[in-house]
Amino acid sequence: MTAKIVTDSCSDITQDEAKRLGIIVVPAYVHFGDKSFRDGVDMTYDEFYDKLLASPVHPSTAAPSPGEFAKVYEQAAQETNEIVSIHVTSKHSAIYDAALAGKEMVEKKGCQIEVIDSKGVTMWQGLVAMAAARAARNGCTLHQIIKKSYDTIDRLRTLALLDTFKYAVKGGRLGKAASAIESLLNVKPLIALRDGEVVPIGMARSRCKGLSRLREFLQSTRQAEDIAIVHSTTADEAQSLADYARSLFPNLIPRISRLGPALGVHGGPGAIAAIIQETT
């Protein structure tokens, strides 16, 4: 039987891509006060960002419960006895731990489940899940799919531009000192991933210069197997960056994805990122 691939909505895989590759996406939760929304299900992205800007209360996020993961695994186990579950970095979310707990509830029933920490967010995680799904469709064994997932993680790099640190600080993902420096200097933050940690790595003096840094980041790679551009509210900028990536790598069609609510809580409007999967 073909292994099933599970991920969570922090992967920001488009619904069409998930359906095409047979990836099961478990939604995280976004809470505005006492109202709860399933990420990517109960609210459109435009509705979320409008609400994020207008709400007097900053939203919070929550992981799916172990029971929700167990239910998804049990459903998948009706078609396979092998599942690979790939999730957002455990350094910034409880989703990975919830998936592990859900695995323990189901694995005793004879289904082998491997839970993987992608060490990334948004389409970093998404590219890992898609690589695993393609391997599964090609008839790879569970061991080969797991190896492919970790190999993909090792070949990923990312750089993101935020319009402000404000949302990351409110969401508890960065310290207040970073926001204070940004406000004092009126600059645009640049962030990256290091061993699963989202870390600030510099500042751009304007958004235009920040976008130039993203283009320089794309230039820094000699060979790329896959490229994803993710944005929260700036579709034109994302398309322009994707077109630039295409000019550098004519044989690739960069993916463009939207930063979903679960991560948009922390990235805020104006966030844009480039994720590169380098060739071996």
| 126-146 confidence digits (pLDDT tens) | 999 999 999 999 999 999 999
Residue 35 placed within a domain: no
Do 136 and 263 have their domain in common?
A: no
Do 167 and 148 have their domain in common?
A: no
Residue 92 placed within a domain: yes
Do 106 and 234 have their domain in common?
A: no
The whole-angstrom separation of Cα 230 and Cα 241 is 10
Residue 22 placed within a domain: yes
pLDDT in tens, 234-270: 999 999 999 999 999 999 999 999 999 999 999 999 9
Do 22 and 141 have their domain in common?
A: yes
Question: What pLDDT is recorded for position 182?
Answer: 47
Which is higher by pLDDT, 172 or 21?
21
Do 109 and 185 have their domain in common?
A: no
Structural domain boundaries, residue 184: 156-278
- % of residues, the chain, pLDDT over 70: 93
Residue 201 placed within a domain: yes
Do 168 and 212 have their domain in common?
A: yes
Other CB atoms within 10 Å distance of the CB of residue 58? 15
Do 146 and 10 have their domain in common?
A: yes
Q: How many domains, the chain?
A: 2
Mean pLDDT of the chain: 92
Do 126 and 180 have their domain in common?
A: no
* Lookup: tokens for 216: 């320089």
Is the pLDDT at 166 greater than 90? The verdict is no
Residue 54 placed within a domain: no
Do 182 and 261 have their domain in common?
A: yes
Taking residues 210-235, what's their average pLDDT? 96
The whole-angstrom distance between residue 26's C-alpha and the CA centroid of its chain comes to 13
Do 166 and 252 have their domain in common?
A: yes
Query: Which CATH number does the domain housing residue 183 bear?
Result: 3.30.1180.10
Which is higher by pLDDT, 167 or 151?
151
Do 135 and 18 have their domain in common?
A: yes
Domain final position from 111, 129, 154: 154
32 close to 264: Cβ distance less than 8 angstroms: no
Strands 255-258, 224-231: pairing is parallel
Do 115 and 188 have their domain in common?
A: no
pLDDT in tens, 27-51: 999 999 889 999 999 999 999 999 9
The confidence band for 184, taking pLDDT boundaries of 50, 70 and 90, is very low
Question: What pLDDT is recorded for position 108?
Answer: 67
The confidence band for 165, taking pLDDT boundaries of 50, 70 and 90, is confident
* pTM for this prediction: 0.93
Is the pLDDT at 177 greater than 50? The verdict is no
The whole-angstrom separation of Cα 201 and Cα 263 is 19
Instruction: For 225-247, give one letter per residue: b (16+ CB within 10 A) or e.
Output: ebbbbbbbbbeebbeebbebbee
Domain final position from 106, 131, 154: 154
Residue 33 placed within a domain: no
pLDDT in tens, 90-102: 999 999 999 999 9
* SS3 (DSSP) at 245: helix
3-state percent breakdown (helix, strand, coil) of the chain, nearest 5: 45, 25, 30
* Lookup: tokens for 240: 């322009």
Helices (H), 107-141: 122-137
72 close to 24: Cβ distance less than 8 angstroms: yes
Question: What pLDDT is recorded for position 174?
Answer: 52
Is the pLDDT at 167 greater than 60? The verdict is yes
Residue 8 placed within a domain: yes
The whole-angstrom separation of Cα 264 and Cα 17 is 20
231 close to 214: Cβ distance less than 8 angstroms: no
Residue 200 placed within a domain: yes
Query: Which CATH number does the domain housing residue 96 bear?
Result: 3.40.50.10440
Domain final position from 122, 154, 186: 154
The whole-angstrom separation of Cα 255 and Cα 14 is 10
For residue 68, give the DSSP letter. H
For residue 250, give the DSSP letter. T
Which are the contacts of 223, defined by CB distance < 8 A and separation ≥ 6? 278, 279
Question: What pLDDT is recorded for position 162?
Answer: 95
* Lookup: tokens for 275: 């994720």
Question: What pLDDT is recorded for position 280?
Answer: 78
Question: What pLDDT is recorded for position 56?
Answer: 87
The confidence band for 187, taking pLDDT boundaries of 50, 70 and 90, is confident
